[in-house]
Structure 1
Amino acid sequence: MSSLPVPEAPAASTASTASAASTVSTVSTVSVAPAVIVRTVPLDSDEPLLAYLPGAGDAGDSAPVVSWVRRGDGLVGWGTAVDFSAGGPGRFREAEAWWRSVAARAVVRDEVGVPGTGLVCFGSFPFADDSAEPARLVVPSTIVGRRDGRTWVTSVTLEPQLRPLETPAVAPEPPSPVGVTFADGSVSPSDYAHAVAEAVQRISSGALDKVVLARDLIATAKEPIDQRWVLRRLAERYENTWVFAVSGLLGATPELLVRRDQGLITSRVLAGTIRRTGDDEADLALAASLARSSKDLEEHEYAVRSVAEALAPHCSSMNVPEAPFVLHLPNVMHLATDVAAVSADDASSLTLAASLHPSAAVGGTPTAQAVALIGELEHMDRGRYAGPVGWMDAGGDGAWGIALRSGALLPDDPRTIRLYAGCGIVAGSDPESEVAESNAKLIPMRDALTSE
């Protein structure tokens, strides 16, 4: 492709590298955002998006990859034009302010013009206010996207003029993980069962209605784990999920926290789970029992109510189905409700995600009491597990899921990834059943790491 003449960037952004020009802070937002130069053009391709992600050293690019893909559509990217991090209770507000400042100073040439083109960031946020891990926003230097049969490529740079855009190449098949072993993490199955039993006692005493408790599992390979292998396996086997990767956090979430798309707001709420047997006739019977389960319906009602109440101030109208449907995934089935609403203000998708987090689906009800009990009983830092993960464009449209069915690569050891799973606990919960459910929720990541 030919190069595109663009206006020179404002003088305030004369740094020669992304690391020099971007500001990473866990305390406060930047005062002056870098000025980025962005161009999006159509791409004539029907290759799977994940096939474009380069490995370390491919095409001279060893930067981390990002992903948000479902059923062939979505976005992938690599390289880092600019990035940002922030921690603590103000992490959403600081990230939003930084992104607005980047968007305001960007010079954009967008020849496609749909949500996901032009300037786009990918982000992931820690579950808890006091997490040791910060929130991350990343603007990749190269993004490939697809929506409704249209494919495009976006280039982002800090240089005052774009280099010639080249058609991205399909990368070689990534190597599979070698010699993966598993070990208990901070919360063993027995520890988890004890925590569930204690939570049921608290709920029965009237202290709260529901709490979501999580456990972890450590997977270690003999060689560094290639994220692209895991992402491709998840996309092949769990097409009804959003396959994501941001700053070493990767997974396949079935739960869409919120999407903002040209004035329409949607959210998919999941709560209430049963493990599949692999026998279609038996699974149909289990699905029917799940749809009638008072324990699971109660858990689901809390989750739906929390989402509807959080979205209401930003919406002019809302549709909340009276009853959930059963979402069938290869390993489990969930009670699910799709909430749809019409936006009434200019709140971005990230602002909406912040207003929803933590929903009852990953925290509990009431929120404050549930989050406090999580801190007391879990005995681990969730990091970015169960926090919002997704993307946003310069206009505020975007999609944010909940980082479930996921794992986080250890930053100082790329051979090791920490996997997470959690379950909603209500008065009728049984500790051993919840351990079994958590095992089922670990299957997607375990299989992606160990099977061909």
Structure 2
Amino acid sequence: MSTAAADPAPLVVRTVEIDDVGDLLPLLPHDDPATTMSWVRRGEGIVGWGAAARLRTDGPARMIEADAWWRRLAGRMIVRDEVGVPGSGPVAFGSFAFSRDSAAGGTLVVPRVVVGRRDGRSWLTVASPAALGPAPTLAQARGAVTPVRAPGAVRYRDGSLTADQWQAAVAEVVAAIRAGQVQKVVMARDVLARTSEDVDVRHLLRALAAEYPGCWTFAVDHILGATPELLVRRDHGLVACRVLAGTIRRTGDDDDDLRHAATLARSSKDLEEHELAVASVAQALGPYCTSFNVPEAPFVLHLPNVMHLASDVTGVVDATRGPSSLALAAALHPTAAVCGTPTPEAAGVLARAERMDRGRYAGPVGWIGADGDGEWGIALRSGVVQDARTVRLFAGCGVVAASDPAAELAESEAKLLPMRSALG
């Protein structure tokens, strides 16, 4: 249920086109993890700061409740959008817990200021409860800018489980799978990073975007990362989902990586894992689409640290009466790629085996516009800023009957690399 006012004051939202801003992330003026927001890929997307309105939700209906709150709020706004592209006009950033039972709940935030860039066009959006006035300049909207700080020396320690305990838990899950209790379980692992200087989320976001430009560099309400997995995008009725399942670590040698990519594409273990993930997305998305397409075979997605089997599932929904991007995210979550198959049984197994609350790791994260269009990823390759000098890092691995605990531990280390590298 909601823990914020259901009906905040009506907002006045104005969007104006501005000169090309280039990189978006250097525009973030402050380092507050609660009100610094990002959704950027290959130099395009949106960043925001401040909070003109905010909703806190929890429980099984956290995303549906947030969607209804946003529809009510958007319907009462006074909007002047001079740009008219996806991401201009009113937007809200959101992140939601993986589990319906998690105390992390969910958050939807309407930034006070948004700067966007798409197809060579840049814009500035300002939202406030005040009357519509002259459009501010970007410099005025940024206000006082604090310098970006590096986190200094970093020390790591085990999270909920030690490496040995986690491998033992994976072995227990493999035994449950081989006994026929479940087909696949995605096991998450956490590591705690302690920095010698206060964490500046802008430093981490810039490092992630520079190293992983093909991923969506995100930040919403203390969680940030660079996810390669698009849960769902809705754009004028067109729906797209990118499914990743099946992973192999890169070696740094191009020839070796090509051989490993070929091995991944033929791996029965990884192909089985991927097929289950794609099937779960198709099953969840199908009832909402007038048509949709599922590729016959995956492709290999090359990232700086790992390679994934990937499939792009697409569909069509009614752009005016169909579900919003957030409602589609709610219907799709959790996919087999982050939970397992069958989903209810897998969720029960991982809840016992992981022995931790994932919080918002592997939950939906992204943004929604006033028309319901938007983009939602899965909060992977991520960390949560717990206090000024502590970041909780997460990684997950798909476990099937053929899984080896030591190999899964090595895969988790590869998936922790983006956040470790960003911390320096």
Q: In which range does the TM-score fall when normalised by the shorter chain?
A: over 0.9
- State the match for 1:77 in structure 2: 48
1:343 to 299, 305, 317: 317
Check if 1:362 corresponds to 2:338. yes
Instruction: Please give the TM-score of this superposition, normalised by the length of structure 1.
Output: 0.90
Check if 1:39 corresponds to 2:21. no
Q: Displacement, 1:28?
A: 6.4
CA contact (8 A) 2:8 2:53 kept: no
Q: Aligned letter for 2:300?
A: V
CA contact (8 A) 1:188 1:216 kept: no
Q: Aligned letter for 1:122?
A: F
Q: Displacement, 1:159?
A: 1.6
- State the match for 2:275 in structure 1: 301
Q: Displacement, 1:149?
A: 1.0
After superposing on structure 2, the runs of 4+ consecutive aligned residues of structure 1 that deviate more than 3 Å are 26-31, 161-164, 168-173
Q: Which deviations, in whole Å up to 9, do the C-alpha atoms of 1:232-266 show, x marking residues without a partner? A: 01000101100000011000000000000011100
Q: Displacement, 1:64?
A: 2.3
Q: Aligned letter for 1:98?
A: W
Q: Which deviations, in whole Å up to 9, do the C-alpha atoms of 1:111-164 show, x marking residues without a partner? A: 001111111000000000110112011111000001111110000001233464
Q: Which deviations, in whole Å up to 9, do the C-alpha atoms of 1:383-436 show, x marking residues without a partner? A: 0000000000000000000000000001xx211000000000001000000000
Moved more, 153-162 or 37-46: 153-162
CA contact (8 A) 1:390 1:399 kept: yes
> What does residue range 4-403 of structure 1 map to in structure 2 within 5 Å?
26-27=1-2, 30-56=5-31, 64-162=35-133, 164-168=135-139, 174-344=148-318, 345-403=321-379
Moved more, 187-196 or 160-169: 160-169
Q: Displacement, 1:222?
A: 1.6
Residues 1:31 and 1:75: Cα distance change in structure 2 (over 3 Å): closer
Q: Aligned letter for 1:387?
A: G
Q: Aligned letter for 1:371?
A: A
Q: Aligned letter for 1:126?
A: A
1:435 to 393, 409, 419: 409
Structure 2 unaligned residues grouped into runs of 5+: none
Residues 1:189 and 1:163: Cα distance change in structure 2 (over 3 Å): farther
1:80 aligned counterpart, secondary structure: coil
Residues 1:182 and 1:279: Cα distance change in structure 2 (over 3 Å): same
How far apart, in 1, do the equivalents of 2:336 and 2:29 lie? 37
How far apart, in 2, do the equivalents of 1:195 and 1:62 lie? 33
Q: Displacement, 1:108?
A: 0.4
Moved more, 439-448 or 165-174: 165-174
Residues 1:266 and 1:408: Cα distance change in structure 2 (over 3 Å): same
CA contact (8 A) 1:62 1:79 kept: no
Q: Displacement, 1:172?
A: 7.1
How far apart, in 2, do the equivalents of 1:172 and 1:73 lie? 23
Q: Displacement, 1:167?
A: 2.0
Q: Displacement, 1:356?
A: 0.4
Q: Aligned letter for 1:406?
A: S
CA contact (8 A) 1:175 1:229 kept: yes
Number of residue pairs aligned between Structure 1 and Structure 2:
419
Q: Aligned letter for 2:277?
A: A
How far apart, in 2, do the equivalents of 1:264 and 1:204 lie? 39
